Amino acid sequence: MKWALLSVWDKTGIVDLAKVLVEHDYRLLSSGGTGAALAQAGVPFTEVSAYTGSPEMMHGRVKTLHPKIHGGILGRRGIDDAVMQEHGIEPIDLVVVNLYPFETMSGRGLSLDETIEYIDIGGPAMVRAAAKNHKYVAVVVDSADYGMAADAVRRGGFSAEQRQALAAKAFARTAAYDGAIANYLTGIDRPFPETLTLQFRNGRTLRYGENPHQAAAVYGDAGIAAEQPLQGKAMSYNNYLDVHAAVGLLREFDDCAAVIVKHNNPCGVATGGELLPTYIAAREVDPVSAYGSIVALNREVTADVARELIGTFVEVVIATSYAPEALTIMKAKENMRVLRLPEPVVQDEIRSIDGGVLVQRTEPYRENWRVVTEREPDAHEMRAMELAMKVCKHTKSNAIIFANETAVLGIGAGQMNRVESAEIAVKKARSSLAGSAVASDAFLPFPDTLEVAAAAGATALVQPGGSIRDKDVIDAANRANVAMVFTGVRHFRH
């Protein structure tokens, strides 16, 4: 006869697992809500308090913290048998526990006293004890593993490899749980916790990092980090970075849009009514840079778009969906990675530096667009400025973007001074810049950038404003008959 202890907050699947255990001669220990669920389903079990001879105390705070429970979990078979027999301790072979939902409840705006009641004590203690003694005890902390556990029971027991894997998962769970509690308690009355503990799951080793001599891995079980290609080679370190950049910009648009990214910077962006001409327009912004790029699309890829995609070298395509015929066509480029666009994940941005990390949070914000020149922009210029600024926000600083109403025309990125970014954007433009709009990610410290833009044909410019020389720039705009808008929000991207 084997013993299993079941104590779960989330009751999903627990009755079905319990029935399998009983069918295979396990005796069950349980209490509280888990016991009530078993009783309602007619599954026989022994109350923990009846087994230990000690009643639950302090409104359930003390029930499994007892030598007959922890001795049964921690007892080493063949070593501690005599002690266990002397004290009437039955060996517990399986522990199935999930924890109070602290992570969820700590974000509900409860008081400190209310939140503390969701800190599980008995659960983590049993989980850690079982994981430590996994040579003899299997521990299950995730309902997703109940099927595997039931199969193991039907086969006669858990293998050593299964017990070790379950133990590793158990310690990872208690580490994340304790980390969430520490983050909460050290973050009270602070925008960020004093001690930051993070955990990312689903780790996979990549072929290499940014370059072949660097090792790398990716972690994450949601968003882009969790996506696996529908076809093509495995994702690389640089692929993940570029897809992240492309998707961030793509999500700025509700209209049909195509975004092309190379080395973390956009090299082509367009909007339109249908995806095929929109993609072609984006690619033609800079077809040389589009070679070996990341393409992000916010509409379904159909056969005509797929044929256009395979006509050039594309590293990764990510789109909302794909028609079956499109997937068949794209198989002609067997190395091209094809991803589905996942739901966005709201989280802080974390970047490593020597000795630590930087954490950045972007709260909801609103730009305050106001015209500062004598001439107001017309409706066409406003739409062009809106497009240019959306792209500017996702381009490395210093960033200068020329655009019309539907497409980017010239991109100047990552320069040490703003006027050179403007000059590069003008030089790279393949279409006329006459009547275009310009966006700058930060204020113009001098009139020179505006003068470069005006000389190239731009008639409107949008920038954050805030320079001590704003008046000089406004005067220069008025002289050039350029309509200028200040937004009040800077968008540096390092």
Domain ranges of the chain: 2-186, 223-340, 370-486
**Overall CATH class of domain 2-186:** alpha beta
Query: Do the first three CATH levels of 223-340 and 370-486 match, i.e. the same topology?
Result: yes
The helices-and-strands tally (H runs, E runs) of the chain is: 20, 20
Per-residue confidence of the chain (494 residues) as pLDDT tens digits?
899 999 999 999 999 999 999 999 999 999 888 999 999 999 999 988 888 877 776 766 776 778 888 899 999 988 888 888 888 888 999 999 999 999 999 989 899 999 999 998 889 999 999 999 999 999 999 999 999 999 999 999 999 999 999 999 999 999 999 999 999 999 999 999 999 999 999 999 999 999 999 999 999 999 999 999 999 999 999 999 999 999 999 999 999 999 999 999 999 999 999 999 999 999 999 999 999 999 999 999 999 999 999 999 999 999 999 999 999 999 999 999 999 999 999 999 999 999 999 999 999 899 999 999 999 999 999 999 999 999 999 999 999 999 999 999 999 999 999 999 999 999 999 999 999 999 999 999 999 999 999 999 999 999 999 999 999 999 999 999 999 999 999 999 99
Interatomic CA distance for residues 124 and 132, integer angstroms: 12
Active-site residue flag, 132: yes
Active-site residue flag, 380: no
Angle subtended at Cα 155 by Cα 152 and Cα 160, rounded to the nearest 5 degrees: 55
Contact assessment for residue 281 and residue 270, using Cβ atoms and an 8 Å cutoff:
yes
| Three-state secondary-structure class, residue 10 | coil
DSSP 396-411: PSS-EEEE-SSBEEEE
Interatomic CA distance for residues 14 and 16, integer angstroms: 6
To which CATH superfamily is domain 223-340 assigned?
A: AICAR transformylase, duplication domain (3.40.140.20)
pTM: 0.90
Structure-token match 């990125």, residue found = 413
User: Which token pair is 289?
Assistant: 């840079």
Interatomic CA distance for residues 485 and 480, integer angstroms: 15
Sheet harboring 460-463: ordered strands across? 370-371, 483-486, 460-463, 437-440, 400-403, 408-412
Query: What CATH number labels 370-486?
Result: 3.40.140.20
Which residues on neighbouring strands pair with residue 410, listed in sequence order? 402
Residue 219 phi/psi, 5-degree rounding, is -125, 145
3-state percent helix, strand, coil for the chain, nearest multiple of 5? 40, 20, 40
Contact assessment for residue 183 and residue 196, using Cβ atoms and an 8 Å cutoff:
yes
Interatomic CA distance for residues 474 and 375, integer angstroms: 11
Contact assessment for residue 65 and residue 108, using Cβ atoms and an 8 Å cutoff:
no
- Max CA distance (Å), the chain: 97
Residue 207 phi/psi, 5-degree rounding, is -55, -40
| Tally of residues, the chain | 494
User: Which token pair is 48?
Assistant: 């923990």
Contact assessment for residue 466 and residue 443, using Cβ atoms and an 8 Å cutoff:
yes
Interatomic CA distance for residues 384 and 269, integer angstroms: 12
Interatomic CA distance for residues 74 and 288, integer angstroms: 65
Q: Which of 24, 132, 233, 380 is catalytic?
A: 132
User: Which token pair is 273?
Assistant: 């009514």
Q: Which of 11, 19, 263, 380 is catalytic?
A: 263
Alpha carbon dihedral 265, 270, 274, 276, in 10-degree steps, equals -60
Query: In Å, how far are 163, 272, 440 from 425, measured between CA atoms?
Result: 59, 22, 12
Output the pLDDT for position 60.
67
What angle, rounded to 10 degrees, do the helices at 160-186 and 122-132 form?
Answer: 140
